[in-house]
Amino acid sequence: MALTATMHHVEVALSDVDRSVYETLDLRVAQHPSETMRFLVTRVLAYCLSYEEGIAFSKGGLSSTDEAPIAVRDPTGLLLAWIDIGVPSAERLHKASKAARRVAVFTTELGNLRRTVLGQKIHRAEDVEVCPLDVAFVDRIVAKMDRNTKLDLTRNDGQLYVVIDGATLETPIVRVPLFES
């Protein structure tokens, strides 16, 4: 018997002061049987921090090699942004960079990501945006998550503040190059 996904309902009050984005998001996120809560929380944070018109979670699920876990498309369906999570392969990033104008990776494993792609050919590698998230920060959110969660998420001056279950958590949000200089 196949395992099924667990649905999570996440209500987000998003105030991204750095990008002038203010939205209330009502997310229904499937946690796939092989997906950790850390990965799910990273996916939710990536969605919120990248939020713009046309953003969506993939329909094919996390195992799809042909789709981004999170994509931004224009009204005609043109892929504008491929947003990946975790430690995608160099081959996947190469494909993403050819398919989309913008490629971003949100990860709690920056060192592992860089080791995975070291010496590999990636189209427009210098343009791939990497947003490393502090694993302790993500784990504190994981500890407070349940299947119905409310988050207040604010980004201001490069700092991310998350209010969850009465606790305020914070971490810097930075962008780093895919390859170390």
- For every one of its 181 residues, what pLDDT tens digit does the chain have, with 9 covering 90 and above? 567 889 999 999 999 999 999 999 999 999 988 899 999 999 999 999 999 999 999 886 666 677 899 999 999 999 999 999 999 999 999 999 999 999 999 999 999 999 999 999 999 999 999 999 999 999 999 999 999 999 999 999 999 999 999 999 999 999 999 998 7
In a domain, 99, yes or no: yes
Q: How far is CA 9 from CA 27, 31, 60, 128, in A?
A: 6, 11, 19, 30
> For residue 24, what are the domain limits?
6-172
Residue 125, domain member (yes or no): yes
In a domain, residue 180? The reply is no
- Adjacency order of strands within the sheet including 129-132: 55-57, 70-73, 79-85, 102-107, 129-132
Residue 1 lies in a domain: no
Does residue 84 lie within any of the structural domains? yes
Residue 181 lies in a domain: no
Would 178 be classed as within a structural domain?
no
Number of domains in the chain: 1
Is residue 23 in some structural domain? yes
CATH of the domain at 150: 3.10.640.10
